[in-house]
Structure 1
Amino acid sequence: MKVFVIGISGAVGGLLAEELTGRGDVVSGLVRRDDQRAALASRHIEARVGDIGVMTADQLVPLLSGFDAVVYSAGSNGGSRAVTDAVDGEGVVRTLEAAGRAGVTRFVLVSVLPEAGRELHLDDDHEHYFAVKKLTDVAVSLSDLDWLVLRPSMLVDRPGTGRVALGPAQPHDEIPREDVAATLAELLHEPRIRRQVLELNAGETPTALAVRARIR
């Protein structure tokens, strides 16, 4: 499988690249700086340099052509509204359009649990972040592609456990980034799981079994 990862230099994107290359997949992605591209090249992963916040669909089409799947794992993490709109909103929509035009059939969006900020008295920028994330999920769900939206709980840097809870609704808690990447890799390799919004949390079910349980 050939997979292009938007946000491959991020924590989850980088871990996903390792998971996929370990399976023998061909992985590429988009980074913002040459030093990030060089770091990935040292791990035998090719990347292209560009800013997803400003790139047009026309610019993205040639980058995505020839790939089987696109994973969008870039995010502003609740920064300024302008960055949120560009990366978490417009960037996703443009990439979705470009994927369709490039002949990519599979599109996976790493989103966020909608309850993540409830009762935390967030500032306006973070409230805007969650609103944009929700609207982007809707845009992806209306696509003609074989899409998936994965909403992980709060990401933490603890070692993965290999056990998760995956389904249409999960409580907001914590999950290691390694487990998110492993779940993404399993989902990418299960084409029967398509056009679903899935929430992901730490759990007790082995990752592969949790993914297979979502086949319908």
Structure 2
Amino acid sequence: MRIVIAGGHGKIALRLARQLADRGDEPVALIRNPDHAQDVRDAGAEPVVVDLEKATVTELAEKVMNADGVVFAAGAGPGSGAPRKDTVDRAAAVLTADASALAGVRRLIQVSAINVDEPVPEGADEVWAAYVEAKRAADADLRERHLELDWTILRPGRLTDGPGTGLVALGPDVGRAEVTRDDVASVIVALLDEPGTVGRTLNLVNGETPVADAVRAMSS
């Protein structure tokens, strides 16, 4: 499969590209900074330079054309302020969905964050609140697109860089806990193979169920 990854230089994205390439798929990494091209090549992906904060929907549609699926794994990242949480975590996600629909690529997996539908506590950090609101708004937008996109929203818990375990807890009611980025990437690969997970919003943390079994259990 040809899979386009938005936010292609991110920590989850690089792991995802490597897993897809290792099994013979064709990952395409959308990157803003051309200096990151070699990193994504080393992970087995084809680098494509495009700025998700500046591109038009037509420009982005050209980048995802002929893909079998799109994964939105972009984020403003640590150190960015509240405005970029909106322009990347929300607006770039909406743009990616628009471009995928325009290009006729139905399968879209969006990486969100666990518990973003819950109210932000009073007194919470402004940037954190903006991040949660951006992810919540992006997910809400995607949920309205069931006629044009075959979407799945994946909401990992607190991300860690430890080695993947291959064991997870996945489902709409899974509580907050840690999950390795390796395991998030493995779940995305499995979701791409499982059309029965279309239209689901799934929390993800490390647990006791093998990835393939956990994803299969969420197939409607």
Q: Considering the TM-score relative to the shorter chain, is it more than 0.5?
A: yes
How many residues are aligned here?
216
Does the 8 Å CA contact 2:18/2:45 hold for their aligned counterparts? no
**Alpha-carbon distance change, 150 to 49 in structure 1, aligned in 2, over 3 angstroms:** same
Does the 8 Å CA contact 1:166/1:200 hold for their aligned counterparts? yes
Does the 8 Å CA contact 1:109/1:150 hold for their aligned counterparts? yes
- What is the root-mean-square deviation of aligned Cα atoms in Å? 1.8
1:17 aligns with 2:17: yes
CA distance in 2, matches of 1:80, 1:210: 35
1:47 equivalent in structure 2: 47
1:214 equivalent in structure 2: 218
Helix, strand or coil for the counterpart of 2:39?
Answer: helix
1:135 aligns with 2:118: no
Helix, strand or coil for the counterpart of 2:195?
Answer: coil
1:148-167 alignment, distance < 5 Å = 148-167=152-171
Deviations 1:144-201 (A, max 9, x none): 2000100000000111111000001211111111010001100111122201101101
Does the 8 Å CA contact 1:54/1:86 hold for their aligned counterparts? no
Of 179-188 and 116-125, the range deviating more from structure 2: 116-125
2:192 equivalent in structure 1: 188
Does the 8 Å CA contact 2:27/2:44 hold for their aligned counterparts? no
CA distance in 2, matches of 1:201, 1:175: 5
TM norm structure 1: 0.94
CA distance in 2, matches of 1:135, 1:114: 13
In structure 1, stretches of 5+ residues that fail to align are: none
CA distance in 2, matches of 1:53, 1:196: 27
CA distance in 1, matches of 2:185, 2:22: 12
Does the 8 Å CA contact 1:109/1:148 hold for their aligned counterparts? yes
TM norm structure 2: 0.93
1:58 equivalent in structure 2: 58
1:28 equivalent in structure 2: 28
In structure 2, stretches of 5+ residues that fail to align are: none
Deviation at 1:45, TM superposition (A): 2.0
CA distance in 1, matches of 2:75, 2:198: 22
1:7 equivalent in structure 2: 7
CA distance in 2, matches of 1:110, 1:135: 13
